[in-house]
């Protein structure tokens, strides 16, 4: 046994969002969330455990650059969780590579912590099922719990550590949707989602969202089952707008939008109303807008976005599989 493993894991885009925690230590969310795992935006991670004791500390590189101790902190904390679960104290050499730009509005923490979990556990020889890995990944980043599964995925909030896990609702080939990210700013966000989750409960609107989200989850499950974009779209827009209302009314306020964000929201409304294009938006913790549509109109949406002066770049992804083991290791 080499104590080394490499996995490629897709990021995901949530249709019903996770925002806010009831237990910050365990990352137990305020509500269930539903997402689509992405085929074309992924992280590849190699974890090599130093069983011979050559390293004096963990060594972590991201996209070829060694991370400073401050930037490596969350990853080292996660390696500590894996060490504690396995009852070992080896240092690790971690190399990770994203095929999409960081701060592009695609969640690198989702694919990153999912890949770190599955590669790290596999390299330790821990033969745990995907549900257990989902619970472990959740501790690194909540949305990572969903990237352990391919296709369309729901994370049950649960109330205990082992209950707060994701599962697949439909495989990736169930529905040929597209997530088209319109990048309006590639600047790194000032408040991380990890800190944002702690602020959610300070918003006077958080309770209103919690009450309604149960019904929206039912709607999204049904729209996915029926592959009904006209039913899915309005709910994902409502949920994203409500989550951003919670963010904006937190104390301190989190205002992630830029003028370009608003320009795209207006454009999407026009394309639907005036041109009959069934395209809908969702927005994560940043200014970039994810446009969701079926595959047949994706080229038209991409070319319209490319003509907008507010849009810096466009990244499109299809629904993707769960973690893929790779034989070649990153160094
Ligand atoms: O997993 P985190 O802590 O990066 O939080 C993700 C939060 C959102 O992307 C805004 C919503 C979601 O459910 O993915």
Q: What is the pTM of this model?
A: 0.97
What CA–CA distance (Å, rounded) separates 81 from 146?
19
Two structure tokens written together for 198? 């702690």
pLDDT bin (cut points 50, 70, 90) of residue 23 is very high
Q: Is the CB of 180 under 6 A from ligand 1?
A: no
Sorted by sequence, the CB contacts under 8 Å of residue 30 that are 6+ apart come out as: 18, 19, 20, 21, 22, 157, 200, 206, 210
- Give the Å distance between the CA of 110 and the centre of ligand 1: 8
The pLDDT of residue 167: 98
CA of 25 to the centre of ligand 1 (A): 16
Q: pLDDT at position 190, please?
A: 74
pLDDT of residue 324: 98
Q: How confident is the model at residue 106 (pLDDT cuts 50, 70, 90)?
A: confident
Mean of the per-residue pLDDT values of the chain? 96
User: Is 195:254 a contact under the CB 8 Å cutoff?
Assistant: no
DSSP string, 245-262: HHHHTSSS------HHHH
State the pairing for strand pair 166-170/152-155.
antiparallel
- 49-61 core/surface letters (b: 16 or more CB in 10 A; e: else): bbeeeeeeebbbb
Burial of 29 (0-12, 13-18, 19+ CB in 10 A): buried
Atom of ligand 1 nearest to the CA of 13: 14
What is the distance, to the nearest Å, from the Cα of residue 47 to the centroid of all Cα atoms in its chain? 21
C-alpha 88 – ligand 1 centre gap (Å): 30
Does the beta carbon of 260 lie inside 6 Å of ligand 1? no
**DSSP H/E element including 206:** helix 206-226
Q: What number is the average pLDDT over the span 193-204? A: 93
Separation CA 310–CA 182 (nearest Å): 9
Residue to mutate, 29, 31, 104, 142, ligand 1, most ligand atoms under 8 Å from C-beta: 142
| Tens-place pLDDT, residues 127-169 | 899 999 999 999 999 999 999 999 999 999 999 999 999 999 9
From the list 83, 90, 85, 103, the residue with the least C-alpha distance to 181 is 103
pLDDT, position 189: 73
Our answer on whether the CB atom of 166 is closer than 6 Å to any ligand 1 atom is: no
pLDDT above 90 covers what percent of the chain?
92
Phi/psi of residue 280, nearest 5 degrees: -135, 160
Confidence grade of residue 191 (pLDDT, cut at 50, 70, 90): confident
Collapsing DSSP to helix, strand or coil, 29 comes out as strand
Strand order in the sheet with 289-294: 280-282, 289-294, 177-183, 313-317
pLDDT tier at 187 (50, 70, 90 boundaries)? Answer: confident
Q: Which protein residue's CA is at the shortest distance from atom 8 of ligand 1? A: 284
Position 296 scores a pLDDT of 98
Q: Looking up tokens 């973690």, which residue turns up?
A: 323
Confidence of residue 186 (pLDDT cuts 50, 70, 90): confident
Residue 313 sits at the vertex; the CA angle it makes with 6 and 330, to the nearest 5 degrees, is 15
pLDDT band at 209 (very low <50, low <70, confident <90, very high): very high
How far is ligand 1, taken at its centre, from the CA of residue 54, in Å? 36
The pLDDT assigned to 101 comes to 83
Poorest-confidence range of 71-75, 105-109, 167-171, 319-323?
Answer: 105-109
User: Does any ligand 1 atom lie closer than 6 A to the CB of residue 143?
Assistant: yes
Backbone angles phi, psi at 297, to 5 degrees: -100, 0
pLDDT reading at 1 higher than 80 = no
Report, as an integer, the average pLDDT of 166-179.
98
* pLDDT, position 124: 97
Confidence of residue 171 (pLDDT cuts 50, 70, 90): very high
CA distance 304 to 208: 35
Decide whether any atom of ligand 1 lies within 6 Å of the 107 Cβ.
Answer: yes
Q: Report the pLDDT value the prediction gives residue 107, as an integer from 0 to 100.
A: 85
pLDDT in tens, 63-96: 999 999 988 999 999 999 999 999 999 999 999 9
Name all domains of the chain by residue range, CATH numbers in brackets: 4-172 (3.30.230.10), 177-317 (3.30.70.890)
Confidence at residue 133, expressed as pLDDT on a 0 to 100 scale: 98
Distance 56 CA to ligand 1 centre (A): 33
């Amino acid at each position: 046994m080499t104590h080394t493993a490499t996995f490629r894991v897709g990021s995901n885009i949530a249709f019903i969002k996770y925002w806010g925690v009831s237990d910050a230590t365990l990352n137990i969310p305020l509500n269930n969330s539903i997402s689509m795992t992405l085929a074309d935006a992924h992280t590849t991670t190699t974890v090599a455990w130093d069983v011979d004791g050559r390293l004096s500390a963990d060594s972590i590189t991201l996209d070829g650059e060694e991370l400073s101790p401050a930037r490596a902190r969350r990853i080292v904390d996660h390696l500590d969780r894996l060490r504690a679960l396995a009852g070992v104290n080896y240092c690790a050499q971690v190399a990770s590579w994203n095929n999409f730009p960081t701060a592009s509005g695609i969640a690198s923490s989702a694919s990153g912590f999912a890949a770190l979990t599955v590669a790290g556990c596999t390299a330790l020889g821990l033969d745990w099922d995907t549900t257990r890995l989902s619970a472990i990944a959740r501790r690194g980043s909540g949305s990572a719990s969903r990237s352990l599964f391919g296709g369309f995925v729901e994370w049950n909030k649960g109330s205990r550590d082992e209950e707060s896990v994701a599962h697949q609702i439909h495989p990736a080939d169930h529905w040929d949707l597209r997530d088209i990210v319109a990048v309006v700013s590639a600047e790194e966000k000032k408040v991380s989602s990890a800190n944002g989750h702690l602020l959610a409960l300070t918003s006077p609107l958080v309770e209103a969202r919690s009450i309604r989200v149960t019904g929206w989850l039912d709607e999204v499950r049904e729209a996915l089952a029926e592959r009904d974009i006209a039913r899915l779209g309005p709910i994902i827009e409502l949920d994203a707008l409500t989550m951003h209302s919670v963010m904006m009314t937190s104390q301190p306020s989190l205002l992630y939008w830029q003028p370009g964000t608003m320009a795209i929201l207006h454009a999407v409304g026009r394309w639907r109303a005036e041109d009959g294009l069934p395209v809908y938006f969702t927005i994560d913790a940043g200014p970039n807008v994810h446009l969701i549509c079926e595959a047949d109109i994706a080229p038209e949406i991409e070319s319209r976005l490319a003509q907008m002066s507010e849009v810096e770049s466009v990244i499109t992804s299809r629904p993707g599989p769960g973690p893929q083991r790779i034989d070649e290791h990153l160094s």
